[in-house]
Structure 1
Amino acid sequence: MNHPDRSLANGYAKEEQMEHVTSADGTTIAYDRVGSGSPVILVGGALCDRNSHGPLAEALADEYDVITYDRRGRGDSGDTTPYDVQREVEDIAALLTATGGTTAIYGHSSGAALAAIAAVTLPFSQVVLHEPPYGPDDADTSDDGRQVIEALRDGRNQDAVEQFLLMTGLPKEIAQQVAATPGLADVAPTLPYDFAVMGHALDHGGTPVALLRRVTADTLVLAGTATAPFMIDAAHRITEILPNATYADLPGQQHAVPPEALAPVLKDFLRR
């Protein structure tokens, strides 16, 4: 679903910038805000916290009021059981209220799938979906997912991260190295949240067709030309499904895109 950004462990965001909102169920959601202009909320994918999009936020801050946040269960945000995808939508709704105005939303990987879910009911001015990892209709990753859940149940968080990274297509040696990154094991218990997001509202196969047809905001779908082929296929597929969507390539880019390559594309779209 998502390759974790190493900035999660490096602590990119400055502590003094952190603010909080309270979600509908009473959960505290931590966020950073940088820049000025029209607001845009950045939604991270699996194993990422608000620091993961810190460099992108800085790259957008000269034109936009950028909000990065810790999804529930991560970083400085709280959590409330039982988990439900709708609670994550309520978290975004609380951030939307905090911006005090019309807001765009950008989501990456499983964060893009969450952004799409939120965009069905929340009034975003524009939506950017960057490689939501919707699988082909004949894909079956249930066994891999069960191995992740079993590792978490046994308290083997690092093994759970490694198994998840293998699911994304990383070679075993690299998956083992990345799984050992300080901080990732602490976020591992939220992996089932991303599984739930990706499985939300599926009406057939691996793509929530009925849900996507309800996203009426102006939408940009992005995919790198060097990313996993199934993600490119998914991006083209959902562009056809979404009512008001355009597609854009990110030439030479893989799943994780440096801000200097991504920010200009986002700015061009958000200026519309």
Structure 2
Amino acid sequence: MTISRAEVCAVACADTWRDAGAVLASPFGVIPSIGARLARLTTAPDLLLTDGEAMLLAEPTALGAEATGTVEGWMPYGRVLDLLAGGRRRVMMGASQVDRYGNQNISRIGPWDKPKVQLIGVRGAPGNTVNHTTNYWVAKHSTKVFVTSVDLVAGVGHDRARQVGARFHDVRVVVSDLAVLDFTGPDRAMRLRSVHPGVSVADVQARTGFELAIDSVAETRLPTDEELALIRHRIDPANLRDQEVPG
């Protein structure tokens, strides 16, 4: 059976919600959205999922389909902020830039007074990273994303959190189209945890703009038969995943 790179990435994202308990999942992007739904159906049955607006759904809906089914709760924006501040949310955000300590940029590329590219702004990244578990998804691993120093800090990394004593800071994992990385290197630097099938350690290092901590590197696990069936037939029957991570 052929397993796509997108499917490997999706289960790696799902594993970031494994055993999360009754927390609100906030995935950004197709692959993280598949991952959150997959976790809810397998390893994190108490995970809270919304319809993308204000309703909590009893069962995950397929990507791209109209949200239907049993509504089990109401999640207005104010309540989301309550969960955020109380640490009862787990988010997987994107990153236009991320450095070796997990400082993330989604705001601008280039100097402050004359940026080359204006992005979406810092949004909720500061509050997310200092209040609850935050992970990142990068659909195209490159030296333009994995940089020595971000142009603007939106999400707070381990070095800055340590300086200010951010006691609830919890940035854990970066999943990319090449690998899974964490922050268990020296001084909480980025470490290469696993490479996806067909990817070498050298491939990942060559597309990273700083030296990764590398010790024992595993191969990212493959989806189980159950997970593949859920992804292909229930969660993403329209195969939107291959648009984000081409096969």
TM-score, length-scaled by structure 1 = 0.33
Greater relative contact order (Cα < 8 A, sep 6+): 2
Between structures 1 and 2, the one with greater helix share: 1
TM-score, length-scaled by structure 2 = 0.35
